[in-house]
Amino acid sequence: MKIVVHDTATTMIELLHRPVEERPEALREMCEPLHGVMSKVMGGDLDLVQAHQSLGSGFRLDRDDPRYLPALHRMRDADVWNRTEDSLATAWERISGAAPGIKHAETVHVVIVLGNPDDDHLMVRSSGYFGQGGFPGAIHLVMWPTDVALEKIGHAAAHELHHNVRYANVVWNPMTVTLGEWVVAEGLAEAFVRELAGEQAMGPWTAALTGAELDSAYEKITGDIDLAGMHNLTAYMLGDTTAELMGQPTVGLPHFAGYGVGLRIVDAHLAATGLTAAGSVALPAREILTNAGVPTTA
């Protein structure tokens, strides 16, 4: 696997010196390495600029903001791009060692984009960083340089690489994907980060719920584990607030409910089998759910 972490620091600094009206097209060019892969998985010609501006938590394209350039310089001074590349190389070494012969994209393009410091989903719920990696050949990372994000962006990249390899082996169809698949995938990816770098490296998502709240979410999510269609699943995974922002159904769950539940399921699977998250990367969700004692018919 060839991993290409694009120098988007230089590109975004240049972009922010352009007139505002030229910035959307400059961003489109910067994200072009992701376009074909992500569009194919999502089943249409995905407009990455529109996604950046609407639900992607990316920096504003329609105005100047004196915070943006210092933030990019802070990210570059913190060596974010090289550290992300190193983290991805380590992650791939672990996965390929645990699952020799696993299918994977020949080249994975990685694009790191500056986030919007006024976006609650990014800054409040996600501590300044998150990613998308379920598109074999493409990883999209968004961050604002909070102390937490600067520390953990490389771990987020490893999380997304686990998804990237999984979905070179497991079919992800947005129209038919089940809640069980999504929950398992997130649990595996966070358990993988823990295998690589310890519990403190995991994201804020899996720690969002504890105690009785987690127990309640577990019961609700496992009760609907066979529900299908990505448009039906957002509230289960990301919580009602995010589902409302996306115009999707709410189900009475808090932020990131599915992540903590997913980790609980995966931990039960790992305990039952003695496997690792790296070695489980391509296992069917149904097998993992069965190992964890979660009944499923899908």
Q: What is the pLDDT of residue 52?
A: 85
Backbone angles phi, psi at 140, to 5 degrees: -115, 120
Sign of the CA dihedral 195, 200, 205, 208?
Answer: positive
Do the beta carbons of residue 183 and residue 237 sit within 8 Å? yes
CA atoms within 13 A on the CB side of 256: 21
User: Do residues 126 and 155 touch, judged by C-beta distance below 8 A?
Assistant: no
Q: Is 193 in contact with 155 (CB distance < 8 Å)?
A: yes
Which residues, 6 or more positions from 167, have their beta carbon under 8 angstroms from its beta carbon?
41, 134, 135, 136
Report the Cα–Cα distance between both ends of the chain, in Å, rounded.
32
* Distant-in-sequence, close-in-space partners of 27: CB < 8 Å, separation ≥ 6: 15, 48, 49, 52, 58, 61
User: What stretches in the chain show pLDDT beneath 50?
Assistant: none
| 269-290: pLDDT as tens digits | 999 999 999 999 999 999 999 9
DSSP 107-127: EEEEEEEEB-TT-HIIIIIST
pLDDT value of residue 42: 66
Query: What's the pLDDT tens digit per position in 114-141?
Result: 999 999 889 998 999 999 999 999 999 9
Domain parsing of the chain, residue ranges:
1-169, 172-298
| 266, 187 Cβ separation under 8 angstroms | yes
Q: pTM for the whole thing? A: 0.95
